[in-house]
Amino acid sequence: MTETYILNRYSMGQDCTLGQLLDSDNELYCYTLELPWKDNIPHESCIPEGTYKVIPHNSDAHPDTWEITNVPGRSAILIHTGNTVEDSLGCILVGNSVGNIDGNPAVLNSFVTIDKLRGLLPNYFTLEIK
């Protein structure tokens, strides 16, 4: 049976979408930052709420990360490092806190956070976004 994790979006503004990645016991794993909701337009919007299968991803740009699969009308949606929406084309960025960089909403300490997640998250899991 695949483990389920929850991405609880708590702020959906015009600039970005902020959330928390939680395990099934509501333990906080990290904070997340995504693009704002713009009707699921590729490279401009966060993905729709829903339940998705997550699989391992490995590329030169994003080694040892995860890909969110079966997103309607979208592909190559990853969970990876980055701080602000400038670092995302629709992916989910992770950090251990939320703050600002040059006046823009940001998740912070992304590389430390992705290393932590590599030790906590399985290769394959279910992600419920709400």
pLDDT digits (tens, 9 = 90+) for 26-37: 999 999 999 999
**Which long-range contacts link 6-12 to residues 24+ away (Cβ below 8 Å)?**
6/127, 6/128, 6/129, 6/130, 7/32, 7/92, 7/127, 7/128, 7/129, 7/130, 8/130, 9/34, 9/46, 9/49, 9/129, 9/130, 12/36, 12/37, 12/46
Mean pLDDT of the chain: 97
Work out the burial of residue 25: count CB atoms within 10 Å of its CB; fewer than 13 is exposed, 13-18 middle, 19 or more buried: exposed
- Quote the number of domains for the chain: 1
* Alpha-helical runs (H) found in the chain: 110-120
Residue 1 has pLDDT above 80, yes or no: no
Average pLDDT (31-58) is 98
Q: pLDDT of 81-96, one tens digit each?
A: 999 999 999 999 999 9
Q: Helix (H, G, I), strand (E, B), or coil: what is residue 113?
A: helix
Nearest-CA neighbor of 31 among 89, 107, 106?
A: 107
- What is the extent of the structural domain holding 16? 4-129
Single pTM value for the model: 0.96
CB 105: neighbour CB atoms within 10 A? 18
Confidence band, pLDDT 50/70/90 cuts, at residue 128: very high
Q: Helix (H, G, I), strand (E, B), or coil: what is residue 68?
A: strand
Q: Are strands 97-101 and 92-95 parallel, antiparallel or unpaired?
A: unpaired
Percent of the chain with pLDDT over 70: 99
Confidence band, pLDDT 50/70/90 cuts, at residue 2: confident
